[in-house]
């Protein structure tokens, strides 16, 4: 069994979304970055953070507000995407620290938005798809959503589902659960 040490960033993003296709002229973009730092050696969540990001190519729909609880007025107080990426680099060593997300959506959304805006991709090349390693560690044929995985692991859902900072905190608990089962590994090296 591999012993992991050091810090891991667990990231969960919320993005502008609609009940159907994006309205003409709008594109999905990050409006919140939730981040929980996990100490891999002690297998503990050590801090919880949320960064609101001001969208520039879309607006927050009523559907998005119902899902996330975030309003246009709230995200208008956030930083722009470039500043959010600088915060990730400066405060969370995102460019050198391994990181994880529940599934591949967050990694791909950051990549696409970085390309589209010309902002450098903020993360290291060592990413773990926590949804995948959770399923592997439990011998599941189908990957679970975060809430379903918490149920399987007999862990509580803390906070509001679909809020980045709360989801990252809950995913952090699932990361420590997988670490305890010996199933943690890097799934993507870019």
Instruction: Give the pLDDT of residue 2.
Output: 54
Name the band, by pLDDT with cuts 50, 70 and 90, for residue 5.
confident
pLDDT, one tens digit per residue, over 122-169 is 999 999 999 999 999 999 999 999 999 999 999 999 999 999 999 999
d(CA 146, CA 158): 12
Domain count, the chain: 1
> What does the pLDDT average to over 70-77?
98
Which structural domain, as residue segments, surrounds residue 113? 7-189
25, part of any domain: yes
Which spans in the chain are helix H? 62-68, 72-76, 81-92, 105-117, 130-138, 146-152, 164-180
Residue 1 in this model has a pLDDT that exceeds 50: no
2, part of any domain: no
The pair of structure tokens assigned to 37 is 């730092």
176, part of any domain: yes
39 strand-pairing partners: 7, 44
Instruction: Give the pLDDT of residue 4.
Output: 72
143, part of any domain: yes
Task: Residue 176: give its domain's CATH number.
Answer: 3.30.420.10
60, part of any domain: yes
1, part of any domain: no
Name the band, by pLDDT with cuts 50, 70 and 90, for residue 188.
confident
120, part of any domain: yes
């Amino acid at each position: 069994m591999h012993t992991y040490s050091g810090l891991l960033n667990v990231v969960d993003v919320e993005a502008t979304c609609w009940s159907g296709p994006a309205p003409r002229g709008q594109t999905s973009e990050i409006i919140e970055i939730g981040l929980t730092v996990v100490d891999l050696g002690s297998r503990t969540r050590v801090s919880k953070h949320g960064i609101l990001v001001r969208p520039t190519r879309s607006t927050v729909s009523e559907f998005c507000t119902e899902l996330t609880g975030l309003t246009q007025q709230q995200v208008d107080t956030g930083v722009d995407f470039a500043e959010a990426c600088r915060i990730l680099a400066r405060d969370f060593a995102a460019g050198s620290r391994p990181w994880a997300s529940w599934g591949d959506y967050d990694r791909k959304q950051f990549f696409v938005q970085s390309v589209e805006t010309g902002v450098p991709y903020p993360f290291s090349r060592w990413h773990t798809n926590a949804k995948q390693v959770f399923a592997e560690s439990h011998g599941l044929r189908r990957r679970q959503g975060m809430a379903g995985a918490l149920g399987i692991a007999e862990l509580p859902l803390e906070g509001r589902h679909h809020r980045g900072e709360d989801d990252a905190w809950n995913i952090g608990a699932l990361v420590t659960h997988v670490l305890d089962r010996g199933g943690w590994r890097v799934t993507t090296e870019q």
